[in-house]
Structure 1
Amino acid sequence: MPASTMKAVRQHAFGGPEVLRYEDAPIPELMSGEVLVRVRAIGVNPPDWYLRDGYRMLPPEWRPEVPFPVILGTDVSGVVAAVADDVAGFAIGDEVYSMVRFPSFGPSKAYAEYVSVPASEMAPKPAGIDHPHAAGAPMSLLTAWQFMIELGHDEPNPLQPNRHQPVPLAGKTVLVNGAAGGVGHFAVQIAKLKGADVIAVVSGKHESLLRDLGAADFIDYTKTPPEDVARDIDLVIDALGGPTTGRFLRTLKRGGALFPIFPLGFTDAGDAEKLGVTVSAT
């Protein structure tokens, strides 16, 4: 077992990056069903900075209570340092990765030298990728998978009345906005894997990467607004989302679907209904 303290990035108040402090913190106490992981790399995701600034994008009544000091982060890759007595399947020295306790509004605690992880939320790190690549995968890949393949949970979405339903991809045309980002580049690969023709919306410097990942066509948004040229699309994955996501409605076929990864701010539900377009989030 390691010593009783570790280094971690903590915050004691909400705010910008300036509230983050690199300081000593207690090493997590190993509980039943958990594994202690020596962290080698973390992934940085939007929920991290939502928590850091106090969830200001949410209505006040939706903002969760957050206990300070808090350690941000959910996505980790590392090496098993200790295993609870009741855990089977993992041993000290195993290379593992995880999305830890999401959503939990504080207890995930990934920005640290050590993190305790429920064994049920952990998996062996793929041998073919290093720790930084493994840590960059869990939340982004799971988000794309839930939107496009299988939702994987029954929690209601307060922003819409109906449960999210992925749509068939084989033989369809899928446009991915923000295709070079975390969720976006996985969405391109999933769509290609499932037999779709993919149009990637990114800046020109990312064209070669996105074509290597499977995009058949490419729109450089710095030169051409994608909503001005894309037509007859079956599915738009808008990895940016927010108030501007409605601009993609005119790119879609009747019966098509618009999936904004960040749905807050979408105000064009009436137009979507008139156009016969399904707008849905997880």
Structure 2
Amino acid sequence: MEYFFMIFALLLATLRLATPLIFASMGGMMSERSGVINVALESFMLVGAFTGSVVATSSSSAWLGWGAALVAGLIIGALYALFVIELNADQIVTGMAFNLLVMGVIPFATKILFDSTGSTPPLPVDDRFNYEPLLLAFLLVAGLTFWLKKTRSGLWLLFAGENPEALMAAGVSVRKVRWAAVALSGAFAAWGGASLSLFLASAYSPMMSGGRGFMALAALIFGKWKPLPAFFACLLFAFADAIQIRLQGVQIGGVAVPVQFIQILPYIVTIVALAGFMGASRSPKALGREL
């Protein structure tokens, strides 16, 4: 019975830890299936985590924080679209610039708002989410799977990343499709960040995404840019994360293993997964191609 509870606790932790990865990977899928490379997911998550925490703390409502994270994600996603779609900036360089910009701006904002460059004030336990972001993440994956396969606008997104010329010949604006996709990419990834500060924790802390934006991008590539396979890749990476949490403090031959060696386990799994399956993944044909 004890082992049953241990396994159940591990599976529950995996689902909780997978929530921000699922949102971010679905956001990355929206952008990259439309043909726009997106390595800015880390910045989108940080913006969502910070905005969600600030609004939730001020209003004592996690749902208002969740909605504010959505708006903030749409704004930063649209700003990213402005640079890479309208101004034709290099998509990889711009994505990394967004990551660096957000890492510097948020401490400045916390200094102004809370006279601190660290964490935001904690949200009371009773005001935090219990399971709602996890449920929404599952619904998002199911909804996107249906939308891409069964709706006209979903097919527009796929054609924008695979054959934009055919989409333009049909009278559909590829530019508008990509704008909408990248803006929604920001919104979904921001929800991933908000799930960190409102679900897995009770406040924003510096750099709390911890590279999850890049892990979500790796899950997207590992899942061949498809919702369901990317979802299962997120579960795999989250399982590795849950394992490393439980392995901290383990001893081998009476000698404690340095915690730093344990903490890198999820990233090792990510690298191994990409190294083993990268060759089998085919990116959208028009990914990174300017209009």
The structure richer in helix per residue is 2
Q: Relative contact order (alpha carbons < 8 A, sep ≥ 6): 1 or 2 greater?
A: 2
The structure richer in strand per residue is 1
Do these two structures clear the TM 0.5 threshold for a shared fold by scoring above it? no
Pair member with larger Rg: 1
Q: TM-score, normalised by structure 1?
A: 0.25
Q: TM-score, normalised by structure 2?
A: 0.25
